[in-house]
Structure 1
C-alpha cells in the first residue's frame, strides 16, 4: 500500500519541478513510510511513497518498464498478479522483479487500457508513455483506493492519493463548493462525484482517464459496472456452495503478503466469515484483533472472543473509553474533507491495535452492500411491496402529509417510529431510499441555511444524485436498485473512505475480500428471496456459514461501532456545539443562520432536544474548513 502524486501538463509542455512533486509526496508519508521516489521529464512528474508489502526490496517506484518506454506510480495490490505474470511470460514478457507493479506495466504494454479489466485488486496507478507522451490514470472497480485530481492555473493537472497531497501544491485554489456543502450536510460525507474544493475532482471508481500533452483532459471512461439485471437459477444448497467457493477464493487471494498479516474481528457475521475462511486456509494461527468499549451496551468483544476461540486465533483485544472526544482534531486531519461518520473513531483505534502486530489486515467490509445486509435495505424491500399495492397518488396525498405531521419520536420503540416510514412511502422507491441514505433530510437541513448558501445551491438537492443512480440502475427490483446505489454511492463515499484514511493514518494496509468483484457479481444475480427473508438480510451468506459459525453469531441483531456523540455535546464538547454559531471558521462563512444554530445548540445542551447528528456534522465541517484554509 502506498501513496502516489504527480503533475501532468495538458495542452502544452512545461518543466515540472521535482521538488514540487516531492512536497506533494511528503504530505502522504503516512501512506508509505518505507521509501519514496520522484521521476520527472518535460511536462510530467510522478511521485511515490511506499509501504512495502510484496517484493520488499525489489520494486522501487516510480518504476520503468524493461524497454524504458513506460513509467508507473502505483498504489494498491493486484491479487492475481502471479497468474497474469505467467500469462504475460507465455507471450514473451520478461520480468526483473517479483512484485505486482511490474506486472501492471507489462499488462499495459500488452493490452493498453483494457489491462484494467484483467486486474483483480484494489488500485490506483498512473502510467506515462514516453513515446505517445500520454498519461494513463486508473482506479479499481469499487473505489477502494482514492485519487484526487485538479486542473491548475498553469495548465497542468495535479493528482494525489489524498487531498492533502494536492494542498501541498501552491497553485491549488482553496474555495469551497456550495454544492459539496449541501451534499455533506445531507450524508455526512462528500460523495465521490464532488469535492469540498472547487476545481478538485475524484477519479470515479471503475474508470480510467487518458491525458495528452496536446489536448485538454479527456473525460474519464468507465470500464466496469455491476449488473443486477440477471437472476441465477438453481437450488439454494447449490448456490450456497457456489457462494462458499467465491468466499474462499476471495479470502485466500488476499492472504498473499511478505509481511505479517491478520484480520479485524468484531464478532459480527462478516468479519467472522473472513476469519473462518482464513483459518481454513492457514496452517498457522490467524492474527485477529478487536476493540471494545467501556459501555457494556455497545461492547462486542465477548462475541469476538468466542469466534477467536472457535478458530484458535492469535487474538488481541483492547477496551477503550467511549470518551474519545479529544481525538476529533486528529480525525479531521486524516480526512481533509469533512467526514462525520462517527464510527471512524473506533475504526481508527482498531487499526492502531492491528498495526502493533501486522502490516496487512483483512476486513469484512462490502458484504452488507453486496448481499443486502443493511437494515435500510430490508426495510426498503418490504416498503416496495406496499408501493406496489397503493397507487402513487394516494401515497403522496395521504401518507406524505401524515408523515409530516407525525412526531419525530426518536425515544420511542422502533415499531412506533412511523415518521420516516410514512415520508418514505409517500414518494417513489428511489426517493424513499435516498431519504434512508441521508443522515439529515431536507426539511431539517434547509431551514438552517443562510440566504447566501440557499442562493448558491438553488434547486439542487443532494438526494437527487441517489435518485438518478437508482432510476438508471441495471436492476429488476427496488432491492436491486438500493444495493446498486449502496455500491456506487455509499460504499466509496463513506465506508471505503473511512477504512482507507484510518488505516493509512497508521501505515496499515486494509484489504476487503468481500469486495472481490467476482463474488459481488455472483451476489448480484441471487434471487431476492436468497438475499432477504423476513427481517433477515444476507440470508444466503448466513445459511452458507451455519456449518462454520454458531447461530448466535449469525443471527443476532446487527450492531456497529457506536460513539456517544449526544452525551459529548452536552458535556465536554458543549463549547464546540455553541461555537458553530459564533467565533468559528464555519460561522464566518455566513452559510448558516447563526440564530437557528445557537438555538439548536442550547436546546441540545439543555436536553430539550436531540440535535447531536446535525451538530456533529457542523463541528466536523468547521474543523475541515479551518484546516483547508478556505475561510
Structure 2
C-alpha cells in the first residue's frame, strides 16, 4: 500500500522519508504497490542477476531509463519515486489501472496514497465534494472519470499515465495508448491461436507464481473459464494447493436448475475444483450501500463480490484471479469489423463473415457495416437519465460537464481502444482493489495483462469474427478441458442471479429508508438528492425493486446516513 505526504519544495529529508515507510536507495525513495512480471528479461536489460523485490526492480529501471522506465515495466503497479537530490517526484501507473494511486497537489505540498481515506486523514481539508462530479455520478450510470474523484482537490493518476512534479511545475503524460499498437501478421489461423495460448498462459503463470492460496472466478463464461482452466492446470503441474472457485450465482442442491448454474457446474466439474457462491444478505447489502462512495468503492459491483471477499478471507485466500476485461481484448466480439471491410471494399470477406449464401450475405454485411459506421455518435440519453435519477433539480444545470469522446466503430481496434478509454475497466479494478485491501486479498486479471492486450489489439479482425462466430480466437484457444456448453455459450445476461438477489435488495432498501427517515438533521450531501422521492421508491413493493435500481443505489451510496 502507498501512503505518504511530502513537501514539494524542498522534497523531504532522508530521515523524514523513513518515517513514512518508503524504500530508500541512495538519493532515491520509492513507494510502490506492484507486481512486476517478465522479471528475467528486465533483470537482463538491467545487467543484474539477483531476484530483486518489485520496488528494487522499478528503481533499477528508473536509474537506467529515467521517466521512460515505465515503458520497460510489465505487470500491475502504481509507484512514486522521490529524487531527493534533484528535488523531483515521479509517479507511474500501469497501463490499465490495476493498482490505484490518488494524490492531492498543493502549492508547497503533495499527498499521495493508494486510497482516499489516507489522503483525507493526512489533510482533512481535502474532504470537500466536487458538485459537478457528484451530479454526473448520480445521473449517468456509465460515468467513470479516469482522473477526477468526488473530491475537488483529490485526483487519480489515470491508467497508462505518469506524473512528474518539481518545485515549480508538474506534468502529466500518457505513456500507453491502445491506438499505438502495430498490426500483427502471421501465416495462418493456427499460428494466431497458438500465439494467443502462449501469451495468455504466461500472463496467468506470472500472476500465480508467488501467491500462497489462489481462488478463481467461475461464472461459467468463456473468459473466467479460460482463466480458471489455465490456472488450475499450472497449479497442479507445480504441485501447489488446488484453487477454489467463486461464482456470483449457483443453485442450491434442492433448487430447480437454471441456465447460469448449468454452465458454472459444467466448469466446476470439468476442472474438478470446489465452487462456492456466497450470498449477500440484507445486512451486508445495507452496509455496502451506507459505505461512503466518495472514498472510491462502488457498491454496485460489490453486492455479489463482497460476499466472495468475506468467504475468501476466511479461507486464507491471498489472490483471486478474474476473467474481467476479456471483452475489450482477446475475447472481443468483433464489433467494427463489418465497417472496416465496408470502407476498405473487401466484399468477399464481408460476405463470408455474414455467414449467409451469396448476395444475401453481402447485403447483410453492407447493412451491418453501415450500422456500425453510424454508431460513432454520442448517445443522447442524458435528459432521460436525469429524469430517472434522484438528483435534486437544483443541480441539473451541472450535468454534461464530463464527456467521453465518442467511440469509433470503424474497426475492431477502434472499438476496443474506445471502450478502454471509457475507464469502466479501471473503475471496477479500483473498487475491487480498495475493498480487498483490508482483507489482504489481491485481484489479478490475466486478460488485462499488457502483453495480452497488445497482442489482442494487433490482431486482424477475422480473429474476432469468423464465419458468423464472434469471439472466435478465444473459443479456439481455450483449454480443451472446458466443455462445449461453455465454449459455444453466447449468453451474457444473468437473470437467475438477479432474481435471487431481489428479495435481499428489497429488504435492504426498506432498511435504508428507515435509516434515512430516522436521521436527526440533514447533511451536506442531502441537498444533492430528492430525498422524498427516493424514500418513497425505496419503500416500493418487491416487484418494483428493479425500477431505477442503479439510480437508487447511486443515491444511497452518495448519501451519508
Taking the aligned partners of 1:543 and 1:347, their CA distance within structure 2 comes to: 29
Q: Which stretches in structure 1 are left out of the alignment for 5+ residues? A: 17-38, 49-61, 389-424, 627-631
Q: Which residue of 1 aligns with 2:3?
A: 5
Q: Which residue of 1 aligns with 2:307?
A: 349
SS in structure 1 opposite 2:376? Answer: helix
Q: Which residue of 1 aligns with 2:324?
A: 365
SS in structure 1 opposite 2:178? Answer: coil
Q: Which of 384, 406, 415 matches 1:482?
A: 415
Taking the aligned partners of 1:277 and 1:202, their CA distance within structure 2 comes to: 33
Q: Report if the CA contact (8 A) 1:450-1:592 is conserved.
A: yes
Distance 1:352 1:580, change over 3 A: closer
How does the TM-score come out when normalised to structure 1?
Answer: 0.72
Q: Which residue of 2 aligns with 1:574?
A: 510
Distance 1:126 1:461, change over 3 A: closer
Taking the aligned partners of 1:269 and 1:521, their CA distance within structure 2 comes to: 20
Does 582-591 or 489-498 show the bigger shift? 582-591
SS in structure 2 opposite 1:165? Answer: helix
Shift of 1:340: 4.7
Q: Which residue of 1 aligns with 2:221?
A: 268
Q: How does 1:384-533 map to 2 (within 5 A)?
A: 429-431=375-377, 441-446=382-387, 448-457=390-399, 460=400, 462=402, 464-467=403-406, 470=407, 477=410, 479-532=412-465
Q: Which residue of 1 aligns with 2:355?
A: none
Q: Which residue of 2 aligns with 1:420?
A: none
Q: Which residue of 2 aligns with 1:289?
A: 245
Q: Which residue of 2 aligns with 1:622?
A: 559
Q: Which residue of 2 aligns with 1:421?
A: none
Q: Which residue of 1 aligns with 2:548?
A: 611
Shift of 1:328: 3.6
**Structure 1 position 256 matched with structure 2 position 198:** no
Shift of 1:151: 2.6
Q: Which residue of 1 aligns with 2:168?
A: 215
Q: Which of 57, 63, 66 matches 2:23?
A: 63
Does 610-619 or 598-607 show the bigger shift? 598-607
Q: Which residue of 2 aligns with 1:558?
A: 492
Across the aligned residues of Structure 1 and Structure 2, the Cα RMSD in angstroms comes to 3.8
Shift of 1:46: 7.3
SS in structure 2 opposite 1:505? Answer: helix
Q: Which residue of 2 aligns with 1:175?
A: 128
Taking the aligned partners of 1:608 and 1:159, their CA distance within structure 2 comes to: 39
SS in structure 2 opposite 1:179? Answer: helix
Q: Which residue of 2 aligns with 1:57?
A: none
Shift of 1:326: 3.1
Shift of 1:171: 4.3
Taking the aligned partners of 2:424 and 2:543, their CA distance within structure 1 comes to: 36
Count residues with an aligned counterpart.
Answer: 521
Deviations 1:433-464 (A, max 9, x none): x57xxxx854132575434312344xx254x2
Deviations 1:213-244 (A, max 9, x none): x213x121111111277544443222111111
Distance 1:579 1:490, change over 3 A: farther
SS in structure 1 opposite 2:126? Answer: coil
Distance 1:364 1:598, change over 3 A: closer
Q: Which residue of 1 aligns with 2:477?
A: 544
Distance 1:251 1:372, change over 3 A: closer
Q: Which stretches in structure 2 are left out of the alignment for 5+ residues? A: 345-370
Shift of 1:78: 0.2
Taking the aligned partners of 1:603 and 1:361, their CA distance within structure 2 comes to: 37
Q: Which residue of 2 aligns with 1:316?
A: 274
Deviations 1:377-399 (A, max 9, x none): 85x878999999xxxxxxxxxxx
Distance 1:125 1:299, change over 3 A: farther
Q: Which residue of 1 aligns with 2:267?
A: 307
SS in structure 1 opposite 2:474? Answer: helix
Higher relative CO (Cα under 8 Å, sequence separation at least 6) belongs to 2
Does 263-272 or 100-109 show the bigger shift? 263-272
How does the TM-score come out when normalised to structure 2?
Answer: 0.80
Taking the aligned partners of 1:366 and 1:427, their CA distance within structure 2 comes to: 24
